[in-house]
Amino acid sequence: MDYIHGTPRDQIFLFKESLDSLVEEDNPVRIIDAYVESVDIEALEFIIPELKTGKPPYKPQLMLKIYIYGYMERIRNSRRLEKETKRNREMIWLTEGLSPDFKTISDFRKNNRNAIKNVFREFLKLCNKAGLLSLETVAIDGTKLRGQNSLNNVYKRGEMENIQKRIEEKIEEYLAELDKEDLKEGEELKLEENRKAIEVMEKLRKLEKYKNKIDEIKKAFDDDKKQETIFYNDEDCRFQSDKGKVRAGYNAQIACDEKNKLIIVEEVTNECNDLNQTTPMVEKLKKIKKELKVEGKTEVIEDAGYFNENEIVKYKDDKEIELFIPDKKEVNKSRKSEDKIPKREYEVENFRYEKENDVYICPEGKSLNKTHMKPGKEDSGREVFEYQCKECDNCNSKDKCTNNKRGRAIKVSVNKEYMDEYKGKMKEKSSVGKIEKRKEIVEHPFGTIKRNLGYDYFLLKGFEKVRSEFSFICFIYNLKRVMNILGHKQLMELIKT
């Protein structure tokens, strides 16, 4: 039987097609090429290489195209990107046959962190031009992404002495083993020819290197007495709890527009919760609105993890932003055995306030008087007045109301009146509907980024690099999303106009 035969490998061979015929007319790489060529690289603050004698540099546009294509195809390692420029038809078309080495590719990302972040904001202008943004309703949420720091490279102050002790014991053990091998062989065999001795010496070399690392970490603890934990590979990482697992990583935040589920704002923090993230996200949102010249009020929806009285009060009179954040206590009604209030009917909301006397009346009719005329400050920064009951010892319901030997005390926010009004508003049917809508808006981008694109960890280390990488990941999500919404032809026309 005869088969289709290829060209013999030793035969002189020429391509029978042009470079342009390597990819289809509606191939996404043509979008990448057209978009990068349409933007002002200098305005985005990319470093323009100086023309010197010798080999000319690569254009910044070329390097940006390589990274956009790579991140769209789940390739972000510079060595793998170099390999793709040599074997991938789409990449060969995109780079016009050029193949920068991995060091050049890596240096471009390292030297243009701010410019890469600017690409995200620049693309938002195109989205706005296409009418894809409304900014009437925006949902904010965060997700935990692993950093380049395994738990094996996280060190606690209290563990350092034991680690050093184990290293020294192991070194002594290996040295004793070397002495034993030397005596056993005598003069018959040189040490370098003794395989077992060579293996032990290699282990010793690695152990000495580890010992130097531990000494360096211990010195860092000695230099900073307040520091209790050191994340060795990436010092900006922190412990992040996600679905029952604790990892060293970052808390990535996004604000997503309801209209087409496009990401409007991106940020990265190493805080383990979202309590203090409303202000930085909202302020960046307001800045984006100003850049895009979008006017009108924006409804910002967040989950209960963002509920922070100080943040809510801050925007109570804001003409541009209206916050919708459910009370965490209302969302989570479950009670724990260690709760300070034994019975639910004796919680603060069941105490009645008498404004004329400035006292609170407990369910048993006893008075709680203000302890100080000036408010105190909690760790969260919330200002509160404390009210104390002096009649608890004579109350038959004390064991139901408090475990405090001094009697029942309650702390009341200076903003209680406004917060009661706000919490009531969040329980209204219209507000509940908006809050329930949050999931379908903001979880789509995170699902795409982590599952479809596969970016559930950061490749780079350190705050600035991680922030730049996450900004670029969000840009890639937006680009793919717009491709799906508009289609190849319409998007290409938009880019060229």
Tens digit of pLDDT for each residue in 392-422?
Answer: 888 888 888 888 888 899 999 999 889 999 9
Strands (E), 281-402: 298-301, 321-324, 352-354, 359-361, 367-370, 376-377, 383-389
Residues 244 and 142 in one domain: yes
- DSSP sequence for 427-485: HSHHHHHHHHHHHHHHHHHHHIIIIIS--SB-SS-SHHHHHHHHHHHHHHHHHHHHHHH
In a domain, 378, yes or no: yes
Residue carrying structure tokens 């254009």: 59
Number of neighbours of residue 24 by Cβ within 10 angstroms = 11
Nearest to 260 by CA among 135, 347, 150: 135
Residues composing the chain:
497
Could you tell me if 179 and 309 lie in one domain? no
Structure tokens at 459: 């490749």
Statement to judge: residues 362 and 294 lie in one domain: no
The verdict on 142 and 263 lying in the same domain is: yes
361, amino acid identity: I
Domain that holds residue 193: 152-231
Same domain, 315 and 436: yes
Shared domain for 172 and 218, answered yes or no, is yes
In a domain, residue 359? The reply is yes
How many Cα atoms within 13 Å fall on the side-chain side of residue 54?
4
Tokens 């290293």 found at: 167
User: What is the chain's pLDDT, residue by residue, as a tens digit (497 residues)?
Assistant: 577 766 676 776 665 677 888 899 999 999 999 999 999 999 999 998 877 667 888 999 999 999 999 999 999 999 999 999 999 999 999 999 899 999 999 999 999 999 999 999 999 999 999 999 999 999 999 999 999 988 888 888 888 888 888 888 888 888 887 776 655 554 454 545 567 777 777 888 888 888 888 888 888 888 888 888 889 888 899 999 887 888 999 999 999 999 999 999 999 999 999 999 999 999 999 999 999 999 999 999 999 999 999 999 999 999 999 999 998 876 555 444 344 566 778 888 889 999 888 999 999 899 999 988 898 888 878 889 999 998 888 888 888 888 888 889 999 999 988 999 999 999 999 999 999 999 889 989 999 999 999 999 999 999 999 999 999 999 999 999 999 999 999 999 999 98
Backbone angles phi, psi at 388, to 5 degrees: -120, 140
Q: Are residues 325 and 242 in the same domain?
A: yes
Same domain? 378 vs 438: no
Domain boundary among 208, 231, 254: 231
Is residue 493, in this structure, part of any structural domain at all? no
C-alpha–C-alpha distance, residues 253 and 470, integer Å: 9
Say which residues have a Cβ less than 8 Å from residue 385's Cβ, sequence separation at least 6. Answer: 370, 371, 372, 375, 376, 411, 412, 414
Same domain, yes or no: 384 and 415: yes
State whether 287 and 338 are in the same domain: no
> Does any domain span residue 348?
yes
Residues 453 and 481 in one domain: yes
The tally of domains found in the chain comes to 4
Q: Do residues 354 and 414 share a domain?
A: yes
